[in-house]
Amino acid sequence: MTENAAVGAGVGAGVDAEALVGRFAQMFAALAANVERVVRGKRDKVELALICLLSEGHLLVEDVPGVGKTTLARAMSASVEAQWARIQFTPDLLPSDITGVSIFNQGTSAFEFHAGPIFANLVVADEINRGSPKTQSALLEVMEERRVTVEGTPHPVPRPFLVIATQNPVDMDGTYPLPEAQLDRFLMRISMGYPDHQAEVAVLAGAPTGAMLDSMPPVMGREDVARMIEFAQRLHVAAPLYDYVVRVVAATRDHPDLRLGASPRASLALLRASRVRAAAAGRSYIVPEDVKALAVPVIAHRLIVTPEAELRGRGGADVVGEVLASVPTPQAAGV
Amino acid sequence: MTRYVSCVVTACLAAVAGLAFQRVFGLGPVVPVAAVAAIVPTVLSALLSGPRKAKGKDAASGGAGGEGAANGGVGGERSASGGSRGRARSPWPLWISLVLTVVAWAGTAAVTVLRPALGDGTLPQTLREGVLSSWKAILTTLLPAPAKPEFLMLVHVLVWLAAFASAETALRTSLRAAPAVPVLGVWAVALLLGVDGPGSNLPIAAATVVLVGVLVLVRSDGPDARPAWRTLALGLPCAAVLGGLAFAMGPLVPVRAEPYDPREQVQAPPPQQRDGVSPLDRVGGWLLSPDQVMFTVTSKRDEIERLAVLDRFDGVTWSSTARFVPTGSRVPAGPRPGKEHASGQRITIRDLPGVWVPAADRPRRVDGMAVVVDPASGALAAAQPLRPGQAYTVDSQVPEWSADDLAGAAVAQDAEARAARELPWGPGATRPPVQLAEFKRFAQAATRGAVSPIQQAAMLAEYLKRYARYDVTAPPGHSYRQLDYFLGEGRRGTPEHFATAYALLARSLGLPARITVGFDGGARTGDTVQVRSGDVMVWPEIKFQRLGWVRFNPLPENARRSRKNDAVAAGETQQKLEQAQKNAASQQRGPGPGKTAQKEPQKPAAAEDAPTPWWVFASIGAAVLAAGYLLAVLLAPSLRRRRRRSGPPAERIAGAWAQALDHLADVGLSTARTLTAHEVARFGASTVGEEAHGHLRPLADLVNRSRFAPSHPDPHAAADQAWQHTDRLGRLVTAKAGHLRRLRRRLHPRSLRARRH
């Protein structure tokens, strides 16, 4: 058994998580460093994306074109030796273009399922808000249940399975905003942002991104990723932290600037992502830092701000920040 | 080792605290009792409650540690350390020590303090009285109390308990100064019982301060560490200096002139009829047979011997309201005159009947006979009727009043003086006797022109001297009717008549008066004066403010001359007093009764007796509050820090974090309630500097791990590490914020309570 395999197997066999979490952190750092070779100056975004991957969640990247959204997805898939697919959402894109279709085979006199691009480990749903609501909703089942049902037959997607959807927040003409139900299915929403000056200079001076992507060596296999996912979800969470997560999420439900607060799915997602962040930091336990660091990307996109607050320029991230500044951390309660 | 050294110190502390009872019993009787009661229980506790060496599996497996930890508390802590070191086991349970110390106490008491009772078979009764009732008996006894076994039992019990509790605390806990606390109980009782006692406890208090310092030094590195001899060597001189300071500064500590005395709260025994026949009733008979030798006095100086003080008149007889209490030897002092002289006498009883014990006024110390004393008047009485041959020595301080003392004196207004103005109607009388009005007119006529109480008193005495004749054959009696006869038709009488008539006349004028029976004169042979029945004397006394009771002599001059030729001259003091009274009366003989010449001299007396102004109490109260506040704000953070440093490792780490937040509050951290540990660390880095971050970051990791991780590989080491970081952070913050700012924050009322970060 390789060391990578031990990460997953060890937890299952009851081996001390303390000893294995260091290995997890090493692997995480190697993965992040590999992705950062092409997505430069965005270490924090890369780490969030990897946390999403290892939490088995989905990532919504909301940013203008040309900041590296697709590159991020391709680099991740190349790093984990995973199969990736890209779906360019357009108004005329049909659900079957995503999930696949059943075609009658005259030779066998039976319908055969031809899998669509969704059957990949990493799926880049580019400009997802340009797809029609019907097409967008085709993603609902597969994102949550990790399977596609065509003509009554379920077809599971491979694991790990990560949807990296992008959307352009500026050019809104001819777009269909994602419904709340679908937004809630994304573990995180991040914004890539422009690279800083140094990073952009390095991009210009470096090799072409496409060439680099083609020559990137994989850092780990799909099985390793699956074991890391399993390992992370078994990390210890102290009782006060459950309480803290619930307090933070519950505080959004009573906030006057919000029309809709975060759901229990948000609590689960926050805890799940926090576990991965803790393991990535080499800890076998979660601390309030993990929760606070992930609260904005995990919760903000699930909130619906009131029109009045929106007019004042407040968004979901502002509200989450305010909530974090008002809910006492378990340290304060315990000391 | 440190635990046993601590026990030696606690034994010394208990013994020294026992010596504080020297104000109750004197030093001699207390020393052996305190020494035995301190040493025996300490040795017993050291044998039973000291750390036991581990045996075999226990030590190897640390089983005791697990058991102790399950028990929790102090035992758990000890066991945990023992388990980690694998050397010691928990001591025997406390109840075993308790049972054995009770048994040992009973045995030790029986063969030491109570040995006399063991011989005569009264051991159980004496033991019970000693434990349950001795404190009450001591409170009703004038100090120094006699060294009776049942009294000394109180010292034995208290010192034993304190020594036992101190030793057990020293052996079973890691607290530094707590073993000294039980000793304070002994001190409290000794101080309360010895408030009125002679001598000073200052040297003993200084020794206690030194010993407490030594105890803290010995236990400075914890009870399980080896004794810090180096620290001890450095600290001992400091403790000695501290004790010396306590000794030197003790007299300068402002205390109340009259400290709280629990004896004032104790109900004294009710007045008793000490004698079947009043000495006043014996006067007539004694004068008719004047050669009966009553007692002999060995003294170089002639003094008037006072026998009985009679201050209550019921219309027919005079009696005493004295509340007698037992005394070891001391008699409390009365009012301080401007001048007095000492008198030492040895008195041997011959034919003096009754229980009243003669002595020069005012006795201060009586040795050689068990007596009871009236603290108010200083009158003495024997516990049993006097027997021929009984002898005792008495030291007295005889007041000498000058004309100046008497000239400015105003009559007393206290409760005793008010009672001494009463003129009761008589037993069963339903209306005032007709003689009272006559007496008043008589007294007013006798004192016409007097403008001050001393003038009234002196003129009344002079008037009676001239008014009646001294005649020992006059029929005895001193009721209203008999005195009316004496003042009206008879005009001859014995000292009984003169004194009682004077007292009633004085009372009718509003002067507080009483009479005293005693002896004046006697036949001197060398240093020995034979006092006979014919030397009996009765004299009246008037109570003045500041002076107390002043004797007056209303007897005609021929009363002395009528005595036998070999009688000694009247006391020099008495002559001086009479002259002073005459001078005072003549000094104040003013132009008329309408003038108020007496008012001026009354002023100083009024000022002296005036109640203390309210602002004095307010100032004292404010000073006490300020001192208490200062003590509290300075002590509270130290106690909090001490509490935070104790307990299981997780609590110690949490305490280190709380302490670090307190430090950061000094550089502007207002609240950390919503901050994570690392956010606080970043705040510290931004305000104190990167060096602080170097301590805060690992401290934050330790706190997070302690609170949120399922386990920790070495929690004790982590707790020590956390406190090291906190201490270093504290030094950095002090350097950054400055001592002045820290002190200012320390003095703020907020420092009284733990901050909610």
In a domain, B268, yes or no: no
With bands split at pLDDT 50, 70 and 90, how would you rate the model's confidence at B255? low
Do B379 and B412 sit in the same domain of this protein?
no
Q: Which residues of A touch B708 (CB under 8 A)?
A: 236-238, 240-241, 285-287, 330
The shortest C-alpha distance from B157 to chain A (Å) reads 45
The shortest C-alpha distance from A225 to chain B (Å) reads 25
Do A12 and A49 sit in the same domain of this protein?
yes
SS (H, E, C) B525-551: ECCEEEEEHHHEEEEEEEEECCCEEEE
More confident: B571 or B28: B28
CA distance B94 to B71: 14
What is the extent of the structural domain holding A158? 1-232
What is the three-class DSSP state of B360?
A: strand
Residue B618: per-residue pLDDT: 83
Q: Which of B678, B705, B709 sits opposite A289 (nearest CB)?
A: B678
Q: Which of B676, B710, B757 sits opposite A335 (nearest CB)?
A: B757
pLDDT tens-digit map of B134-157: 888 888 787 778 788 888 889 999
Residue B744: per-residue pLDDT: 78
Do A177 and A77 sit in the same domain of this protein?
yes
| Continuous H helices in B468-535 | 480-485, 495-508
Q: Give the torsion through C-alpha atoms of B8, B9, B11, B13, to 10 deg.
A: 170
Residues 6+ apart with CB under 8 A from B303: B297, B343, B345, B360, B396, B398, B571, B573
Average pLDDT of the segment spanning B235-244:
79
Residue B718: per-residue pLDDT: 87
With bands split at pLDDT 50, 70 and 90, how would you rate the model's confidence at B78? very low
Q: Is A284 on the interface with B (CB under 8 A)?
A: yes
Average pLDDT of the segment spanning B489-494:
87
What is the three-class DSSP state of B516?
A: strand
What is the three-class DSSP state of B11?
A: helix
Do A272 and A139 sit in the same domain of this protein?
no
DSSP string, A30-96: HHHHHHHTTSTT-HHHHHHHHHHHHTT--EEEE--TTSSHHHHHHHHHHHTT--EEEEE--TT--HH
With bands split at pLDDT 50, 70 and 90, how would you rate the model's confidence at B568? low
Do B354 and B388 sit in the same domain of this protein?
yes
Do B746 and B667 sit in the same domain of this protein?
yes
Going by the DSSP 8-state scheme, the letter that residue B179 receives in this structure is G
Beta strands A153-156 and B339-349, pairing class: unpaired
Do B447 and B569 sit in the same domain of this protein?
yes
The CATH number linked to A57 is 3.40.50.300
Do B568 and B434 sit in the same domain of this protein?
yes
The shortest C-alpha distance from A7 to chain B (Å) reads 19
Weakly modelled stretches of chain A, pLDDT under 50: 1-6, 8-15, 332-335
Mean pLDDT of chain B: 80
What is the extent of the structural domain holding B438? 405-517+537-603
CB A216 within 8 A of CB A82: no
Sheet holding A84-88, edge to edge: A84-88, A122-126, A162-167, A59-62, A188-190
The shortest C-alpha distance from B689 to chain A (Å) reads 22
Q: Which residues of A touch B704 (CB under 8 A)?
A: 285, 287, 289, 331
More confident: B502 or B238: B502
In a domain, B494, yes or no: yes
CB B547 within 8 A of CB B401: yes
CA distance A288 to B675: 9
Q: Which residues of A touch B657 (CB under 8 A)?
A: 331, 335
Residue B291 identity (one-letter amino acid): D
The shortest C-alpha distance from B652 to chain A (Å) reads 10
Is A328 in Cβ contact with B673 (below 8 Å)? yes
Total domains in the fold of chain A = 2
Which residues in B183-214 are b (16+ Cβ under 10 Å) and which e?
beebbebbbbbbbbbeeebebbbbbbbbbbbb
Residues 6+ apart with CB under 8 A from B195: B259, B260, B261, B262, B263
Q: Which residues of B touch A327 (CB under 8 A)?
A: 674
List the structure tokens of B114.
Answer: 């109570």
Complex ipTM > 0.90: no
CA triple B443-B539-B381, angle to 5 deg: 135
The answer, yes or no, to whether residue B432 has pLDDT greater than 90, is no
> Which of B554, B572, B603 is the last residue in one of the domains?
B603
Is A284 in Cβ contact with B674 (below 8 Å)? no
Do A242 and A166 sit in the same domain of this protein?
no
With bands split at pLDDT 50, 70 and 90, how would you rate the model's confidence at B635? confident
Do B361 and B440 sit in the same domain of this protein?
no
More confident: A141 or B89: A141
Q: Which residues of B touch A289 (CB under 8 A)?
A: 676-679, 704
Nearest CA in chain A to B650: A335
Do B341 and B454 sit in the same domain of this protein?
no
Going by the DSSP 8-state scheme, the letter that residue B132 receives in this structure is I
CA distance B492 to B42: 76
Do B241 and B174 sit in the same domain of this protein?
yes
Do A214 and A250 sit in the same domain of this protein?
no
Average pLDDT of the segment spanning B722-730:
90
> Which of A167, A200, A232 is the last residue in one of the domains?
A232
Do A331 and A243 sit in the same domain of this protein?
yes
> Which of B380, B399, B418 is the last residue in one of the domains?
B399
Which residues in A217-235 are b (16+ Cβ under 10 Å) and which e?
eebbebbbbebbbbbbbeb
Do B415 and B348 sit in the same domain of this protein?
no
Q: Is B703 on the interface with A (CB under 8 A)?
A: yes
More confident: B616 or A327: A327
Q: Which residues of A touch B677 (CB under 8 A)?
A: 287-289, 331
Is A325 in Cβ contact with B658 (below 8 Å)? no
Residue B144: is the preceding peptide bond cis (ω within 30°)? yes
The shortest C-alpha distance from B671 to chain A (Å) reads 9
CA triple B728-B729-B734, angle to 5 deg: 100
The answer, yes or no, to whether residue B88 has pLDDT greater than 60, is no
With bands split at pLDDT 50, 70 and 90, how would you rate the model's confidence at B589? low
Is A285 in Cβ contact with B709 (below 8 Å)? yes
Total domains in the fold of chain B = 4
In a domain, B511, yes or no: yes
Q: Alpha carbon A35 to chain centroid distance?
A: 15
CA distance B137 to B554: 42
Share of chain B above pLDDT 70, in %: 85
The answer, yes or no, to whether residue B540 has pLDDT greater than 90, is yes
Say if residue A279 is exposed, middle or buried (CB neighbours under 10 Å; 0-12, 13-18, 19+). Answer: buried
CB A184 within 8 A of CB A263: yes
Distances A283 to A67, A173, B263, B694, B704 between C-alpha atoms, Å: 32, 46, 71, 20, 10
Do A191 and A180 sit in the same domain of this protein?
yes
Q: Is B705 on the interface with A (CB under 8 A)?
A: yes
pLDDT tens-digit map of B174-201: 888 889 999 988 998 888 888 877 788 8
Do A221 and A246 sit in the same domain of this protein?
no
Question: Among A124, A234, A140, which Cα is nearest to A186's?
Answer: A140
Question: Among B448, B14, B467, which Cα is nearest to B215's?
Answer: B14
Is B708 in Cβ contact with A240 (below 8 Å)? yes
Is A236 in Cβ contact with B709 (below 8 Å)? yes
Phi, psi at residue B512, to the nearest 5°?
-70, 120
Residue A280: per-residue pLDDT: 94
The shortest C-alpha distance from B653 to chain A (Å) reads 9
Do B99 and B160 sit in the same domain of this protein?
yes
pTM, two decimals, is: 0.48
Q: Which residues of A touch B681 (CB under 8 A)?
A: none
With bands split at pLDDT 50, 70 and 90, how would you rate the model's confidence at B89? low
> Which of A181, A207, A232 is the last residue in one of the domains?
A232
pLDDT tens-digit map of B297-355: 998 888 888 989 899 888 888 888 888 888 877 787 777 766 788 888 999 999 888 88
Do B645 and B690 sit in the same domain of this protein?
yes
Which of A82-91, A228-237, B555-564, B734-743 has the lowest average pLDDT? B555-564
CA distance B746 to B641: 13
Is B703 in Cβ contact with A329 (below 8 Å)? no
Do B385 and B356 sit in the same domain of this protein?
yes
Do A228 and A240 sit in the same domain of this protein?
no
More confident: B204 or B57: B204
In a domain, B265, yes or no: no
Q: Is A14 on the interface with B (CB under 8 A)?
A: no
Angle at which helix B2-19 crosses helix B27-49, to 10 degrees, equals 160
The answer, yes or no, to whether residue B595 has pLDDT greater than 70, is no
In a domain, B620, yes or no: yes
Q: Is B674 on the interface with A (CB under 8 A)?
A: yes
Residue B81: per-residue pLDDT: 40
